[in-house]
Structure 1
């Protein structure tokens, strides 16, 4: 039996005279003139590189073409299918591939007790002379038949051959027994009789065994020779390396996809006065990880901050920087700063990250009470506003320098956002491609939105996002796409009550009277007693620290929300009051009686708020 030779070095280490025998096909001494040579398979289909099925006058030429074909596979199924195409019919008539389940990946995942599963079997047969096309392969390699799993017994001939790692001819009892054990799992015609028409080649990666490949020839074809073991060894080695590459690629892609998804909001909030929808599509040309992101951040007063950004590049580093910038934006938005100030501080923060990456960012602040929109832009594409009458307007906020450049100079632009209007924020992957520039892409986007708005029935927000993505056209995407859509509904003036009150001891009583009167007008008499108590406690606490007039706002939406603002930056904290304490129980009552409450620092001081559920009506269940 020939010595196992792996890679190109194995061929160079052959003994004198071996090169010539390995380079030429083995020919019978007395060929049968009535039929073509069994060692001369028909030509392979054109268009697949070197002709693998031409007469094997040079094994090196065949191996070069076969290994390049195997290396083309990017996934596990593609790699196995390319092995089948390279081996059949040029080298064998049938290929059976068994892989461990699960497959070991890396040193941290060593294989456990071996469980082999028939992963792939090529049922194609070599063509007869004069044929013009081979049997077409399945449309998807995963359509190849499967079989029950097999667990080789420790010390069995099959286990020993897999552990040894060298290909072997089926002309010995041990190899024949191992092949019969493998073929017994497949729903196939009876295997050929044990002998030199069978080669069993273990698939060994860099550190672990991955499975085996079984190559067989039909009786009308020449038997395998010792020289053929060299070919089988190379096929198995390159297949095993290709499988490891495919597994590592799939694992890295899964990690990248998980990283990208966890850095995006798992769900969008549902603030009163606005409806939100989003889309994220990774580039089909990258490892499914990039720097595009979007966010929607609820703020005091039922306002909401809408953010979209794009870190330059497609890599793990871009995704990591995106995560840091997104966290910074959330923190800055919580300070209730104007959009231009948010971008200014974000630019400062990006400069301290110590990275050469830059990013674009668009920050919009929507107030449903005033129905106004403030927009500030840091080198990003302008948003599109779809008005209730079907008009489409590109909101041109002065584009400042991208985040990380350090130019600053961001400005905020205010525009009216009436009820029924829709704002569309997006990254450049939506409107730019190799076949279309940004200007053309934006014109196409506006045309599609205008056409959709003039339809017979108004589109839902989800359908509108689908219409916007329709501007891509067929083909692969060159860049990631992030899309955030906001449909403004606003709050009716009669659902909001707002007062300024001087910070004096009598203010708490005044706040109770205003609250009682307003709730009676709204028909919320059942909430009067509790709300009066909570408003009195929060206003009394604000009076202690305020130096300027405090604000009281009641908002009646799907909940009753109360907001008390003052100019002090001291945020109250709930504490456990002792029995001897005269105070310190106000926030404890708020925590016990309100459904939710919180305190937020804003640019003018702080806002303490709480929410109560509305009473059930007769129609509620």
Structure 2
């Protein structure tokens, strides 16, 4: 029996040893960290994975608490003590930094703790955990990217609503405060020769296009330079460095020395400190690799410092805004050039005969369209007659302005030949087609004969003239419509009507009436319903017409001409 008994013991001992070796192999080889803590939360055992996480040899961990050896790792000891008290397993998330090297600035672990007890006696806790730094980092990256996209989408609806550069900059600055900063200024590259005297060598001069700040800071921040002011930046300061490298420049909790180096001028540091500014960020405004300017963001008082996510968000918004700003700058330059060219080409009309009063007005559009090819003219002819011209070249921009000049000169030349209005249009259409003009134009001619109190009209696809009568009301005059000039179809007809002294003849281009959301017939009815005192000076008549009809955003240029036969 003893032999059998001893054999059984050997078998049991051998099975226990194998089980122990198997369990030890599993615990030592697993990717999970395993730790056994005593009732005072000191390590009794850690497996190799747990030791590697801590960056401390296993034997050096024994007898110490996590807080003693890894003070930068957060773990709720209150929860662990609750597990010791009631025996209910609990899951914890640990986060922070240990002594071990890691690709993640912030590491995270998810662990479950069980109470270790035998025969009613509590010996401590057993914890098993996995590091989740990589998936948590990935998740945060996705969430951050989603927030940035949401921010950029929101900005798209608020930034770039007009083709005006300064307005776009103001929209961007207002969007950034208070979401990303307490103070925002936007500077753009200044035009050559801008400002008073030329800046010193090495000094960069920029124009402040926009500024925004928290309400309690706004008035004091304006002392640094309001929108429209030119600011000189010392060599090596933050904004010149940002423009030179094309990369963000930021400084959190900056020292006075760092602020002096980054500021436009060193003497501003005291004012920055008085405002409580502690962190600054500058991001470039780049479009197709070309610098437009910079966005400067600052945080003050209790606001947190800038994070890497803040920098990415600011960059994304600057990239989005830079596209609008580049378009706005292009529009501003082309619009200014076209408008100057048009003004040069659209010289003042010649004087009519003394028996005819004339007044005119030209209004460029206030929207994104470039300057158009609208024109008007008054040409005094023999026999006391005056030819009134109103025209509109198709399209906008420099080409339209140049085409307008050709049309205007051609009609002036043809008017001196003594041709009737319909014949002038026929000849003009033939010549334009022969010369190969690429832009057609509508045109209305009105030949006023003050000796007969008549006016003869001919139209090349233009809107009808209007007569503001002395008896009250406005009459739209039906004129046989012909094809626009430049189509080669010709076939124009004229119609003559009485023009009583005192009545006001109104010629105009479509910018006066047309609206995107309104049918042209509705617009013409608004004109027909217009009631004006005909005895007022013609400039006042023009003002009233524009006040009542040119309402809301005008999407095309507007030319208006009024004429009146003097009473004898």
- Regarding TM over 0.5, the answer is yes
- What is the DSSP-based 3-state SS (H/G/I as helix, E as strand, rest coil) of the residue aligned with 2:386? strand
Residue 495 (structure 2) aligned to one of 398, 407, 413: 413
> Which deviations, in whole Å up to 9, do the C-alpha atoms of 1:574-609 show, x marking residues without a partner?
xxxxxxxxxxxxxxxxxxxxxxxxxxxxxxxxxxxx
1:344-363 equivalence runs, <5 A: 344-355=426-437, 357-363=439-445
Alignment of 1:124 onto 2:201: no
- 1:331 alignment counterpart: 413
Return the alpha-carbon distance in structure 2 between the equivalents of residues 121 and 362 of structure 1: 48
In the TM superposition, residue 425 of structure 1 has moved relative to its aligned partner by 1.7
Pick from 233, 249, 262: which aligns with 1:179?
Answer: 262
Aligned to 2:402: 320
The correspondence of residues 94-113 of structure 1 with structure 2, limited to 5 A, is 94-102=183-191
CA 1:191–1:204: 2 relative to 1, 3 Å: farther
Partner of 1:168: 249
**What is aligned with 2:120?**
none
Residues 61/85 of structure 1: CA separation in 2 closer, same or farther (3 Å cut): farther
Distance 1:234 1:264, change over 3 A: same
* Equivalent of 1:114 in 199, 204, 207: 204
CA gap of 1:61–1:144, structure 2 versus 1, over 3 A, is: farther
Alignment of 1:291-330 (within 5 A): 291-330=373-412
Selected match of 1:274 from 332, 356, 359: 356
Q: Secondary structure at the match of 1:276?
A: strand
> What residue in structure 2 maps to residue 372 of structure 1?
454
Counterparts of 1:473 and 1:203, CA distance in 2? 37
Distance 1:386 1:237 in 2: 53
Q: Is the Cα–Cα contact under 8 Å of residues 335 and 397 in structure 2 kept in the other structure?
A: no
- CA 182–161 in structure 1, closer or farther in 2 if over 3 Å, else same: farther
Whole-angstrom CA distance in 1 between matches of 2:208 and 2:553: 34
Separation in structure 2 between the aligned mates of residue 436 and residue 481 of structure 1, nearest angstrom: 17
Report the Cα distance in structure 1 between the residues aligned to 2:308 and 2:521, rounded to whole angstroms. Answer: 66
| Cα distance change of structure 1 residues 161 and 345 upon mapping to structure 2, 3 Å threshold | closer
Q: Deviations over 1:190-220 (max 9, x none)?
A: 25576xx333434455565554433333453
Contact in 1 for aligned 2:421/2:494 (Cα 8 Å)? yes
1:292, 1:309 within 8 Å by CA — same for their partners in 2?
Answer: yes
Superposition deviation, residue 426 in structure 1: 2.1
Aligned equivalents of 1:158 and 1:396: distance in 2?
63
Residue among 476, 483, 486 paired with 2:553: 476
Describe the shift of the 1:136–1:409 C-alpha distance in structure 2 as closer, same or farther (beyond 3 A): farther
- In structure 2, the partner of 1:152 is 233
Higher helix share: 2
In 1, the alpha carbon distance for the partners of 2:414 and 2:349 equals: 20
Structure 1 distance, partners of 2:202, 2:326, is 17
1:151-187 CA deviation, whole Å, 9 max, x = no partner?
3344567644542332233268775333344585596
Preserved contact between residue 76 and residue 246 of structure 1 (Cα < 8 Å): yes
The answer (yes or no) to whether the contact 1:199–1:216 under 8 Å persists in 2 is: yes
With structure 1 as the length reference, what TM-score do the two structures score?
Answer: 0.57
Separation of aligned partners in 1, 2:543 and 2:455: 24
Shift of 1:87: 3.3
Is the counterpart of residue 79 in structure 1 residue 168 in structure 2? yes
Q: Which runs of 4+ in 1 moved over 6 A?
A: 28-31, 135-138
Q: Per the alignment, do residues 267 and 166 of structure 1 end up closer, same or farther by CA in structure 2, a change over 3 Å counting?
A: same
The offset of 1:345, in angstroms, is 0.2
The structure with the larger Rg is: 2
User: Cα gap change, 1:415/1:221 in structure 2, threshold over 3 Å: closer, same or farther?
Assistant: closer
Name the SS of the counterpart of 2:561 in structure 1.
Answer: strand
C-alpha separation in 2, matches of 1:29 and 1:333:
92
480, 488, 500: which one pairs with 2:565? 488
> What SS does structure 1 have at the residue aligned with 2:529?
helix
**8 Å Cα contact 1:149/1:185 also seen in 2:** no
Q: What's the CA shift for 1:293?
A: 1.9
Q: Which runs of 5+ in 1 are unaligned?
A: 1-27, 32-54, 106-110, 126-134, 493-621
Whole-angstrom distance in 1 between the partners of 2:479 and 2:332: 42
- What residue is the counterpart of 1:198 in the other structure? 280
1:403 aligns with 2:485: yes
| Structure 1 residue 238: Cα displacement | 4.4
- Cα–Cα, structure 1 residues 256 and 411, in superposed 2: closer, same or farther, change >3 Å? same
Who is 1:525 aligned against? none
Displacement of 1:247 after TM fit?
1.9
The 1:408/1:184 distance shift into structure 2, 3 A limit, reads same
Can you list the C-alpha shifts for 1:368-392, whole angstroms capped at 9, x where unaligned? 3344322222232332334545475
Q: Larger % of strand: which?
A: 2
327 and 162 in structure 1: CA distance in 2 versus 1, 3 angstrom threshold: same
Q: How does 1:256-275 map to 2 (within 5 A)?
A: 256-267=338-349, 269-275=351-357
The alignment's C-alpha RMSD in Å is 4.1
Distance 2:375 2:214 in 1: 48
* Shift of residue 461, structure 1, vs aligned partner: 1.5
Q: Residues 343 and 410 of structure 1 are in contact (CA less than 8 Å); yes or no, is this contact kept in structure 2?
A: yes
Preserved CA contact (<8 Å) 2:458 2:493: yes
